[in-house]
């Protein structure tokens, strides 16, 4: 994306839910293969005063 001010694509609720569950699914698949894995979540909010 060349324009840093471009709006991010809209994600519907079902897609967000699937993406939210994906790390846990990968973690379980790795555990089944003997690999220890951790999920780390980071929530970031950008705020700007309304003009």
pTM as predicted: 0.53
Q: What is the pLDDT of residue 31?
A: 92
Q: Which of 45, 44, 27 is nearest to 36 (CA)?
A: 27
The DSSP secondary structure of 1-51, one letter per residue, reads ---TTSPPPP--HHHHHHHHHHHHHHHHHHHHTT-----------------
The structure tokens listed for 23 are: 């790390």
The tens digit of pLDDT for each residue in 1-51 reads 566 677 777 888 888 888 888 888 999 999 999 999 887 777 787 878 877
SS3 27: helix
């Amino acid at each position: 994306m060349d324009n840093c001010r471009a709006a991010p694509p809209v994600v519907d609720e079902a897609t967000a839910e699937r993406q939210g569950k994906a790390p846990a699914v990968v973690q379980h698949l790795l555990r089944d293969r003997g690999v220890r894995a951790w999920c780390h979540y980071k929530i970031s909010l950008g705020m700007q005063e309304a003009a």
